[in-house]
């Protein structure tokens, strides 16, 4: 058998493949749930209930949707240039760190001014952290997948050091905790949710326009399609890559600012909560289209929140809940492979050994 890339696929066939994958994931994970001694249908309904079953749960799910969408938007810009930015986690953490510096040291500033400064600082922190692997890529042709991934751990350990050392709250009685932010450094709420959801909606609109209508957005697409073509047409590829990665990381850095200011109220080494890694999947499944990121991120947020709920409701171990989520993700991601590629017979000529693909 041989894999070949599809030139095109109809919407009907794509829908059929995705639907088959979803049904297959539910059947397989249902068997796993059955062997755990539970009714699969009840567990699935409980997952939906845990994510969207009450106003309180919906708010919690939205608090997951917001960073997933924003991080996906940032990673998408890098992916459009075929720069595989796996460093969303680190960029979120550094945005949170930069924003937290101002929250902890300039709390006497008026709230609108301080939040604006934290917003800019978050963008700069994430952008700076993305600039480093971008510079290494254009200067030394390093592998960006490795460098961006390594930067995640550097950022994580830097915040851990601050949490246990210089930034530890002296009033925490020895507990490794950074002081809580003052009210002037916390995002206001609207309908019971921090206003990051408004920022997220604006970001989706702005980035859609930026990619489709601006000159730089056009250059990003050309660089992603072919760097040789970009060079031939006069586009300065290295400059586009560096500027694009600064924007990509900066958006992820804003996520860090919103998490420390709107959700946690302080800086911790858990502030990124795995959003940088999950966003890689949501970005890919959205087809690198900003509008599609919203429903994909909503489904994933529901899966994350619902998976946590069934642990308590059915006394299912976290590892078992993770297996259920992983099965569903495996099938969904796998369906995208069969949308892009197809399997055909690999027939060899009996005499010459030549390969003929029908």
Do the Cβ atoms of 293 and 76 come closer than 8 Å?
yes
Q: How high does pLDDT run on average in the chain?
A: 89
For the residues 19-24, what does the mean pLDDT come to? 88
Average pLDDT over residues 264-279: 91
- pLDDT at position 101 over 80: yes
The share of the chain scoring above pLDDT 70, in percent, equals: 97
Q: How confident is the model at residue 349 (pLDDT cuts 50, 70, 90)?
A: low
| Both structure tokens of 62 | 């939205």
Closest CA to 284 of 327, 212, 348, 339: 339
Please report the pLDDT score of residue 245 as a whole number: 96
Residue 356, pLDDT above cutoff 70: no
pLDDT by residue (tens digit) across 223-237?
A: 998 888 898 888 999
The residues pairing with 3 across neighbouring beta strands, listed in sequence order, are 343
Q: Phi/psi class of residue 97: alpha, beta or left (left: φ > 0; alpha: ψ in -120 to 50)?
A: alpha
| Tokens 């892009």 sit on residue | 340
Q: How far is CA 205 from CA 70, 136, 223, 243, 272, in A?
A: 12, 31, 23, 20, 24
Share of the chain above pLDDT 90, in %: 60
User: What is the mean predicted confidence (pLDDT) over 261-271?
Assistant: 92
Distances in whole angstroms, Cα of residue 298 to Cα of each of 6, 191, 237, 286, 292: 29, 18, 34, 12, 10
247 token code pair: 């924007």
- Please choose, from the candidates 29, 83, 55, the residue with its C-alpha nearest in 3D space to the C-alpha of residue 224: 83
In this predicted structure, what is the pLDDT of residue 348? 56
Question: Of 238, 197, 199, 240, which Cα lies nearest the Cα of 77?
Answer: 240
Gap between the Cα atoms of 321 and 301, Å rounded: 14
pLDDT in tens, 299-329: 889 888 888 888 888 888 878 878 887 888 7
pLDDT on residue 350: 46
* Lookup result for tokens 């050994």: 353
pLDDT range class, residue 342, cuts 50, 70, 90? confident
Q: What is the pLDDT of residues 251-265, one digit of tens each?
A: 999 999 999 999 999
Q: Confidence class of residue 338 from pLDDT cuts 50, 70 and 90?
A: confident
Does the pLDDT of residue 353 top 70, yes or no? no
Domains of the chain: 63-315 (1.10.3470)
pTM of the model: 0.89
Residue 246 CB partners (closer than 8 Å, separation 6+): 127, 128, 130, 131, 134
pLDDT in tens, 77-88: 999 999 999 999
290-313 vs 40-52: helix axis angle to the nearest 10? 120
């Amino acid at each position: 058998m041989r894999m070949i890339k599809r030139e095109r696929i109809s919407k009907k066939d794509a829908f059929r493949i995705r639907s088959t994958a979803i049904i297959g994931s539910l059947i397989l994970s249902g068997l796993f749930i059955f062997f755990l001694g539970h009714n699969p249908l009840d567990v699935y309904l409980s997952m939906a209930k845990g994510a969207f079953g009450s106003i309180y749960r919906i708010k919690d799910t939205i608090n997951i949707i917001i960073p997933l969408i924003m991080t996906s938007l940032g990673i998408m810009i890098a992916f459009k240039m075929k720069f595989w930015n796996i460093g969303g986690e680190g960029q979120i953490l550094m945005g949170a760190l930069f924003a937290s510096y101002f929250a902890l040291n300039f709390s006497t500033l008026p709230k609108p001014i301080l939040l604006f400064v934290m917003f800019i600082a978050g963008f700069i922190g994430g952008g700076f952290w993305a600039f480093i692997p971008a510079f290494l890529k254009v200067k030394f042709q390093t592998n960006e997948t490795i460098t961006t991934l390594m930067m995640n751990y550097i950022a994580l350990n830097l915040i851990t050091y601050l949490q246990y050392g210089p930034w530890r709250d002296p009033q925490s009685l020895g507990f490794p905790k950074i002081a809580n932010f003052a009210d002037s450094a916390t995002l206001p709420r609207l309908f019971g949710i921090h206003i990051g959801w408004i920022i997220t909606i604006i970001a989706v609109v702005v980035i859609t326009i930026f990619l489709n209508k601006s000159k730089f957005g056009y250059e990003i697409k050309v660089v992603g399609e072919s760097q040789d073509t970009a060079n031939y047409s006069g586009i300065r590829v290295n400059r586009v890559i560096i500027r694009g990665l600064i924007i990509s990381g900066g958006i992820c850095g804003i996520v860090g600012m919103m998490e420390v200011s709107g959700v946690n109220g302080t800086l911790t080494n858990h502030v990124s909560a795995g959003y940088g890694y999950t966003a890689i999947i949501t970005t890919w499944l959205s087809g690198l289209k900003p509008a599609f990121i919203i429903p994909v991120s909503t489904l994933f947020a529901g899966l994350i929140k619902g998976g946590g709920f069934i642990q308590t409701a059915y006394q299912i171990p976290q590892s078992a809940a993770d297996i259920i989520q992983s099965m569903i993700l495996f099938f969904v991601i796998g369906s995208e492979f069969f949308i892009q590629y197809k399997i055909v017979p690999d027939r060899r000529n009996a005499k010459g050994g030549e390969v003929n693909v029908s």
